[in-house]
Amino acid sequence: MEEKLGFSVSQVDAESLPWAMLLDADPSERNVRKYLAGARCFSAEKDNEIVGVCVLNTIGDGALELFNIAVSPDMQGQGVGSALLCHVIDRCRSEGVRRIELGTGTFGYQLAFYQRLGFRVERVVRDFFLDHYDEPVMEMGIQHKDMLRLGLDLE
């Protein structure tokens, strides 16, 4: 899929990921630094420029958590995020990962994005964004308060 879209996906070191892109998906530098430690990171590159990032970390017993996926603003809406995440899911499946989990807001385009790729809502974490972020996390003029936990079984 990547060749059709004109970019390549590779596993990279966390240090090579652009902070601006990471903070686009998660505005808390403190949280990003925490989950980058020991993370598996992937980038989508076009013309030697990173246009998408994906960060996962182990949460136990053959499961990974997707902590961050972001696409540069000028490439959004062109299939980069979907292709990047599909690549990562396929790679994880081939490596024997049994499950990928993630947390996201209760509304917005991200929820539909994940559901289109097969993730299912499993539970709600009340007040997550209120308890774990110093500043309000806003989208479409609405403050995120609760987190939805989603999962995708790979077996």
Assess contact for 86 and 42: CB atoms under 8 A. no
- Give the residues of the chain that fall short of pLDDT 50: 1-2
pLDDT (0 to 100) of residue 74: 94
pLDDT (0 to 100) of residue 61: 87
The answer for 79, left when phi > 0, alpha when psi is -120 to 50, beta otherwise, is left
**Predicted structure pTM score:** 0.92
Three-class DSSP category at 35: helix
Three-class DSSP category at 144: coil
Distances (CA, A) of 26 to 19, 60, 95: 10, 23, 27
Q: How far apart are CA 52 and CA 43, in angstroms?
A: 6
CATH value of 2-153 in 3.40.630.30, 3.90.650.10, 3.40.50.12280, 3.40.50.720: 3.40.630.30
- For β-strands 49-60 and 147-153, DSSP reports them as unpaired
pLDDT digits (tens, 9 = 90+) for 114-129: 999 999 999 999 999 9
